[in-house]
Chains A and B, each alone.
Chain A
Amino acid sequence: MKKLLSIILALVLVFSLVACGGSNEEPTPSGGDTPAPAPAPADDGPKPPSVCVVVGNASDKSFSESLARGAALCGTEIGSEYKVIEFGSDETKMLPTLEDLSEDGKWDIIAVASYSYVEYIEACAEKYPDQHYVLFDAASTAGYPNVYSADYKGNEGAYLAGALAAMVTTDTEEMEYANPEKVVGWVGGMDMTLINDFVLGFIQGAHDIDPEVKVITSYTNSFGDTAKGKELAQIMIDAGCDLVYNGAGGAGMGCLEAGKENHTYSIGTDSDQAMLFADDPEKANLILASQLKSLDINLLDVATRYMNGEDVFGHHENLGVASGVICLSDNEFTKKNVPAWMLEKINELSDKIKDGTIVVESAYGQDDAVVHEKIDAARP
């Protein structure tokens, strides 16, 4: 009996090692896992670059998943050979993985996403000058000629979301669950510039539609505590909000639950949240749209430009609505639940951002106190 128990215990421990160790296997991107025996380009065309994506978790329903999808997209669109490598939750594995890949020299482009990898990429770029690196959602300013980096104007996407929110909360006729009070809620993950950049865009977008719309901003101070996200949204709904925007990762999912229970609307970020809950139409129908950051489009764009001989590496780009990387989701639930005139208005506003008629305010480069003053001024 004792022996049996100790064997079971040993098994459990081994199991846990496997669990913590993460997996270096290839994930299954939607649409087949084999590195596509893609349609070979015609002989006269340039050779598509091979792409290797390194992420922590390729099925996080958010950011990394978008990047992993980008690799698959390069495979199907331009015929790249591609691979997705996951290193799990242990960030110390990032650098060795990058070094191994660079040493191999098998891949034309190695792509990663997150500001926490800037140093790793720059270290590798110095060591392996012939290897090309792509760094998303961060800025590499050291000027290595083999690094392309891009970060995003989240505030422009939030501007569109804010405009939509304002149209929804003021339209009590067409929107079934809109209340007469012109108040919307904003649940963020943490009080930091990255998040407040969104808040300022959101407030500006809402005020451009109707200056009387008020925005209650609050933070969960955690990206995983769903219960807290739900309580926070509940408090906002009790205070008269009929739409809550969430930008708090997993904690934000709690806001959707509060929306479902109270019959109020939600707008999401990073992943297409309505499609996450497509099985639960009662909830999905209340998620009017999600603000997306399409790393997949960006990666395909970089690979294509590289293939065509353009000089993309050695540069940094700050991309917004104009590049198509930042946009609002356009899924079946959005089409069904948002009146057509609102969608048209959103398109009109995106065009104005594209041609520069509208300049969206950013929290970057502003003093924190000034940013908070602006956020407080929008409160009811």
Chain B
Amino acid sequence: MNVASLIFTPKFLATIIRMTTPLIYAMLAAVIVNRAGVMNLAVESTMLTGALLGVLFSTWTKSAWLGFLLAIIGCVLLSLAIGYAAFVLKADESLNGVAFNLMMQGGTIFILYLVTGSKGMSNDLQSKVLPKWDIPIIKDIPFIGTVFSGHYLLTYIAVIMVIFVHVLIFRTKFGLRLRLVGENPQAAESVGINSQKMKMIAMCLAGGISAIGGCFMSMGYVSWFQSGMTAGRGFIGMASSTLGGNTPLGGSLASFLFGTADAIAITLSTLSIPGEFVTMIPYVVTVIGLVVSSSLSGKAGKRKGDKK
């Protein structure tokens, strides 16, 4: 078994797509709040909460989609609370985000314990799983079929969401206002935009979208909730958003970069390459990516300055 035979296969590309999907949702959530000028570190916690709520509600309603919807609503409500503390009660945004991350780390376990009596995983619950989708015609094409077909429906919805968020931010009146609030809140207020309201809406949208990412983890990737199962994916999503210049398309590329690095890391780890080296790969890629992106944007800024 050598490196080439593991990596240059359609199955490996499919692995990348699977590993990237949750990152895309976290990234989109981060893009929206960043555009509104909010420092929201709580993406990780809304994702984790979404993962738990999806499992719980799908168990109780006996329907995957109803559970999925209720999980989104639950996370929107949680985001309302986060936003309320930050914007109305004027809590420090970063500390507030950290506090909610810590709270839901324990909170999800607490709720899980109340419901199932177990603190580790929800395997006693008969929770439902969201379906997979075989794309007609494409699934029969040899290479492409293996790569693109047969993923969870939420993977395809992620693509739609990227386009949706792109249009929302750059092509609608709402998006214009959102960006204005983010770039210059005073100016926004002066033309009669309620910046607090806009930030609140951005928080709710982010909460809902990250909940989808959480549901992908617990209702697709695996079929149960495990304490701490998002394992930092929310943070990687935030990093992708920054790396991609807070645009959905750039962020998607960055997410793919992280997804690929992750996939390479775990694939190589089955070979006799030192594990410590392999686990470094995603983080080395992060650092390189951040340096490249900041030096590029630095150059672009200079060029603009020259013109003036």
Contact = CB atoms under 8 A, between A and B. Distances in A.
Contacts of B275: 191, 218-219, 221
A218 B270 contact: yes
Contact of A227 (B11, B102, B222): B222
A250 B120 CA distance: 8
B56 to A, nearest CB: 15
B110 A18 contact: yes
Contacts of B306: none
A145 B90 CA distance: 58
Contacts of B139: none
A2 B88 contact: yes
Contact of A219 (B1, B119, B223, B269): B269
Interface in A71-104: 89
A226 B88 contact: no
Interface string A13-35: 10110111000000010000000
A253 B279 CA distance: 21
A370 to B, nearest CB: 14
Interface stretch (A160-168, A200-208, A234-242, A319-327): A234-242
B121 A250 contact: yes
A19 B84 contact: no
B13 to A, nearest CB: 12
Which of A8, A227, A380 counts the most B-chain CB atoms under 10 A from its CB? A227
Contacts of B270: 185, 216-218, 232, 235-236, 239
Contacts of B40: none
A99 B2 CA distance: 55
A32 B63 CA distance: 34
A20 B126 contact: no
Interface stretch (B28-36, B157-165, B185-193, B225-233): B225-233
Contact of A16 (B106, B120, B224, B226): B106
A224 B107 contact: no
Contact of B81 (A12, A230, A238, A250): A12
A59 B266 contact: no
Contact of B106 (A12, A20, A380): A20
Contact of B120 (A6, A61, A234): A61
B11 A238 contact: yes
A364 interface: no
A191 B19 contact: no
B254 to A, nearest CB: 19
A376 B271 CA distance: 8
B124 A279 contact: yes
A42 interface: no
A231 B264 CA distance: 11
B279 A59 contact: no
Contacts of A238: 9, 11
B84 A5 contact: yes
B231 A225 contact: yes
A373 to B, nearest CB: 9
A268 to B, nearest CB: 12
Given A15-B107, A61-B120, A257 B223 contact: yes
Given A9-B84, A224-B227, A253-B224, A231 B19 contact: yes
Contact of B266 (A15, A235, A250): A235
A57 interface: yes
A294 to B, nearest CB: 19
B85 interface: yes
A9 B81 CA distance: 7
A235 B120 contact: no
18 contacts: A9-B81, A9-B84, A28-B117, A57-B120, A89-B106, A216-B270, A217-B270, A218-B266, A219-B275, A221-B279, A226-B222, A227-B22, A228-B231, A236-B270, A250-B229, A253-B123, A257-B222, A379-B272
Interface of B: 1, 6, 9, 11, 15, 18-19, 22, 81, 84-85, 88-89, 102-103, 106-107, 109-111, 113, 117-121, 123-124, 126, 217, 221-224, 226-229, 231, 263, 266-267, 269-272, 275-276, 279
